[in-house]
Amino acid sequence: MDLSEDIKIEFIDNPEVVSQDNVYEMKGMKCQMRYLERSDGSCAYSHGGSTIVCSVNGPGDLNKDFRDEAKMFVDISVATASNKEGKSHLQVQLLPIVSGALLLENKPRSRLAISVLEMEKGGSVYSEALNAICLALLDHGIELKHQFCGVTLVKQKDSDTFIANPTLKQFQEADNVFQLAFKPSIMKGADLIGMECYGQFSFDTFQAAVTEGTATALNIFGFFREIVEKTHTIGV
């Protein structure tokens, strides 16, 4: 990825611009699809003070030493403001959520390369990276079992209120952090499929966080749906 040519800094620096091609905005979320011309799928996604650029390329050929005869290999690379150890941990967090949404058996002996670049640091890279990856996959057009999204909630010990999509300061000062991943559900609206939680809290508090996160996930999936519908309309 050629950052000097492909990543359009003016999109990040000018949040009032909403009339560019393939730019969508809803309830604090902002996304520009088809962001990188040289990628098979890409987006720039902003939410909660974070800005993530994601590209998806492939499926393509894979060296036979790493080739899986039964399924596609998913390679996620992450570049953030955190240290190398933090990036490695984030990759481990993201991979099962993303791989679980893909039909890996449909493309055996191949590699799907996903690159995540944090351009502007907000509260949680986890949730915003998941959202950016899903949008880039939708832009790519690869077949999915289901969509997915990430929601981050924080809470102070002396408060009964959760803060969704916290700022960096709120994230760092929180006593409890709930980083949740969801997929759409006909029965519940959204099902929990992954999580990363920090702090000491009761099971009742965790259940309340999941309930709050489910409501937030519905808004995010609504945003995804609006983007897909408008993108397909434009392409007709």
Region class of 199: left (phi > 0), else alpha (psi between -120 and 50), else beta: left
Q: Give the confidence band of 69 by pLDDT, cuts at 50, 70, 90.
A: confident
Work out the percent of the chain whose per-residue pLDDT is above 90.
52
CA distances to 46, 133, 162, 182, 183 from 192, rounded to whole Å, are 23, 17, 17, 5, 7
Take residue 163 and report the two structure tokens written for it.
Answer: 């803060």
Residue 149 CB-half CA count within 13 A:
25
In angstroms, the CA 227 to CA 170 distance is: 29
The strands making up 163-164's β-sheet, listed across from edge to edge, are 163-164, 149-155, 176-185, 189-198
Nearest-angstrom CA–CA distance, 180 and 195: 4
Domains in the chain, number? 1
Domain that holds residue 95: 3-235
Do the Cβ atoms of 157 and 176 come closer than 8 Å?
yes
Mean pLDDT of 136-155: 95
Name the residue with higher pLDDT: 34 or 182. Answer: 182
The pLDDT of residue 2 is 38
Q: Which residue has the higher pLDDT, 208 or 70?
A: 208
Q: Of 26 and 59, which is predicted with more confidence?
A: 59
The CATH number assigned to the domain holding 16 equals 3.30.230.70
Predicted TM-score (pTM) above 0.75: yes
Share the mean pLDDT of the chain: 84
The pLDDT score that the predictor gives to residue 15 is: 40
83-97 pLDDT per residue, tens: 555 677 888 899 999
CA torsion 153-159-160-162 (nearest 10°) is: -20
Least confident of 74-83, 131-140, 149-158, 208-217: 74-83
Tokens representing residue 195 in the block: 């999580």
Find, among 33, 37, 58, the residue nearest to 235 by Cα.
33
Least confident of 15-19, 34-38, 140-144: 15-19
Q: What is the pLDDT of residue 7?
A: 39
